Amino acid sequence: MTTTPDDPALDAFIAALPKVELHVHLVGSASVPTVLELARRHPDATEVPRTEEELRRFYTFRDFPHFARVYSAVNRLVREPEDVATLVLGLARDLAPQGARYVELQVTPYAHHIVGMPMREVTEALDVAARRSAAEHGVEIAYIFDIPGEYGEEAAKITLDHALQEPPAALVGFGIGGIEQERVKYRDAFRAAFTAARAAGLHSVPHGGEMSGPETIWEVIEGYGAERIGHGINCLADPRLVAHLRDTRLPLDVCPTSNLRTGQIARIEDHPLPRLLEEGLYVTLNSDDPPMFATTLAEEYRVAAGVFGLGRNELAGLAANGVRASYLPAARKAELLAEIDALL
């Protein structure tokens, strides 16, 4: 697919555009060099390839369940707090040259719990990594704790306990991901977890409508009190839902290349991003699991320009949407919005 704009000046504009990343996962953010480093640390983990060429082939997904299995295999390389910090710092290092200033990073505490990492040690690693990311790379890090939905009530409990008992200083949100079709089995547990998290002051940022239909989006709105929705691309099948999203200005964190790589769309040209914008929906642009999907945050803007024909104003609008939809302090939002305006 062709994603690079024909206009070199537009490509330079994309590179310079101040950006925020609102939908990216800790393990999914691990670049090939970072994964290979973790594999060398843990040589007994034989599921993950040990060479760059083999690892890139390993990241060719047949469908979402296959992606989930590969993701889990990489996740099993994350065994110690040092590994957690390595992932956060690797993401900041990778994002800084792309013009990214701020990240809301989705962390799955349950994955660290099942390999025996204590909550306090995970939190200390996240805190240290956030401070170092800002100091060494100029990238501010915030965290969203994410329930892996297919693991049910236990995962909900562990995620909530960690969020309430040992939260990192930069924890801003509470989410849920994984295979959406599995959630119906644990509906009450997930609703209760989100109610408790929101009562503690955390923002509700669940995935919905990525691999299932509008019913999942309605569930996260009505049952989880969603303030922002991960993906949400299948909202277009329900005109009433589209109208609700438009009227409430509920942001959708859209990740086009992710949807292609996991088989949610057949071709990048089929992605509903243009129609979401035509419908007047509040869209932010994100990378999800960038090395696994052979993309970057900047590349998603190139896709928007090269595939969908968005120009400078539209790209800047997406970047500004991200800033406004973030959980940055108001003064910091104003600074970034001023930078975007100045670049235009």
The structure tokens listed for 77 are 């390389």
Element (H or E) spanning 253, and its range?
Answer: strand 252-254
Please state the domain extents for the chain: 8-343
Q: Which two tokens stand for residue 65?
A: 């369940």
Query: In terms of CATH architecture, what is 8-343?
Result: Alpha-Beta Barrel (3.20)
Say how far apart CA 281 and CA 205 lie, in whole Å. Answer: 17
Taking all residues of the chain, what is their mean pLDDT, rounded to a whole number?
Answer: 94
> Do residues 273 and 300 lie in contact, with contact meaning Cβ atoms separated by under 8 Å?
no
What are the structure tokens assigned to 204, written together? 């509700």
Q: Given pLDDT bands bounded at 50, 70 and 90, which one contains residue 274?
A: very high
Task: Say if residue 3's pLDDT is above 50.
Answer: yes
| pLDDT at residue 4 in the model | 54
Greater confidence, 86 or 71? 86
Instruction: Output the pLDDT for position 330.
Output: 98
pLDDT, mean of residues 268-287: 98
Residue 43 tokens read as 């040589």
Residues 6+ apart with CB under 8 A from 259: 210, 231, 233, 265, 271
Please compute the mean of the pLDDT values over residues 204-223 and round it to a whole number: 97
Q: Please give the residue that has the higher pLDDT: either 177 or 42.
A: 177
Per-residue pLDDT, averaged over 168-190, amounts to 96
Q: What is the pLDDT of residue 6?
A: 67
Does residue 210 have an active-site annotation? yes
Strand, helix or coil at 205? Answer: coil
Tokens of 124: 């200390």
- The average pLDDT across 137-152 equals 97
User: Catalytic: which of 21, 140, 180, 210?
Assistant: 210
| pLDDT, tens digit (0-9, with 9 covering 90-100), for 22-45 | 999 999 898 888 888 888 898 887
